[in-house]
Amino acid sequence: MKKTLFLIIVLLVIFGCSSNKISKTMPVEKKMEIANDLFEKEKYNKAIQYYTEVVFERNSVYTPTAQMKLADCYFNQNKFTEARFEYEELIRLFSDYKDIGRAYFQLGVCFFNETLSPHYTQNETYRAISAFETYIEKFPFDAQKKDALDYIQQCRYKLLMKTYYNGYAYYKLFDYSAALMYFDEIMELGNNNDPDRMSRYYATLIYLERDDFDKAKLTGNKLINRYPQTEEAEKITSELEKIK
C-alpha cells in the first residue's frame, strides 16, 4: 500500500514537472491563446500562470496586453493590492500601450476598494482621489471620466464622514472645543447631507451646554430650516423652546 502511494506521488511530481516544461517551451502565441481562453472561462489563477510567462517575454508584442490581463486577473479576484502592482508595472514599462488609460483608471479603483470605513485612517481614500485626478488630467476625454468623477465624489464624502466622526468622538469625550472645530469645518461647506445635519445638531447641543444661547439659536434654527422633518430638528426645536 505504501509502495503504491509512493508511486502515485512520484508520477504526479513527474507529470507536474513535465507539464511545466511543456508550458515553458510553448510559443508565446500559444501561451497567450491558452491564457485568454482561461480568462474567458474565469479561471483566473490558471490564467495568471500563462500571462506571467508571457510578461517575462519582454520583447514580445503580446507582453503589454499580458501585463494588463495579469492585472485584470487579480482585480477580478478582488486581490486589489496585487492588481494595483501589476497596473503600476504596465504604466511604468509600457506607457505608450494602446489601452493605458484604463490602467490609470483601474489603479484608482484598486485604491478605492482598499479604502477603510470612515472610522479609520483614510490614506487609501486620498490615494484613490489622487489616482483618479491623474487619470482625468491625462485622459480628459476618456469614456470613463464620468465614472472617475463619481468615485472622487464618493471618496470626498467618505472624508467628510471621517471629519464628522472625529468631531463626534471629541463630543463624547466632552472636548467641545475640538468637536466644534470639526463640526464647523463641515458646516462651512454648506452642504445638505447627513454629516452637515448631524454636525449642526451636536454643535447646537454644545452651545446649549455652554449656555451660549445666541449661537445655539443661530445654529439650531439653521438645522430646523434645512432639515425640518428630521428627528434632530424636532429635538432642537424642543430645546430652543425651553430657552424662551
Q: Is residue 201 part of a domain?
A: yes
Q: Tell me the C-alpha distance between 24 and 26, whole Å.
A: 6
Please tell me the predicted confidence (pLDDT) of residue 24: 63
pLDDT tens digits, 96-154: 999 999 999 999 999 999 999 999 999 999 999 999 999 999 999 999 999 999 999 99
pLDDT tens digits, 52-77: 999 998 788 999 999 999 999 999 99
- Does 9 have pLDDT greater than 80? no
Q: Is residue 119 part of a domain?
A: no
DSSP letters spanning 51-85: HHHHHH-TT-TTHHHHHHHHHHHHHHTT-HHHHHH
pLDDT: which is higher, 22 or 197: 197
Please tell me the predicted confidence (pLDDT) of residue 57: 84
Closest by CA to 66, choosing from 39, 101, 104, is: 39
Q: Is residue 6 part of a domain?
A: no
Q: How many structural domains compose the chain?
A: 1
Cβ atoms of 90 and 103 within 8 Å: the answer is: yes
Q: Is residue 16 part of a domain?
A: no
CATH number at residue 227: 1.25.40
Cβ atoms of 71 and 37 within 8 Å: the answer is: no
Q: Is residue 239 part of a domain?
A: yes
Assigned C-alpha cell, 35: 491564457
Q: Is residue 223 part of a domain?
A: yes
- Does 95 have pLDDT greater than 60? yes
Cβ atoms of 100 and 90 within 8 Å: the answer is: yes
**What pLDDT band is residue 174 in, cutting at 50, 70 and 90?**
very high
Question: What's the pTM?
Answer: 0.84
- Sign, CA torsion 129/131/132/138: positive
Cβ atoms of 80 and 119 within 8 Å: the answer is: no
Q: Is residue 194 part of a domain?
A: yes
The whole domain housing 223 covers 174-244
pLDDT tens digits, 177-221: 999 999 999 999 999 999 999 999 999 999 999 999 999 999 999
Q: Is residue 21 part of a domain?
A: no
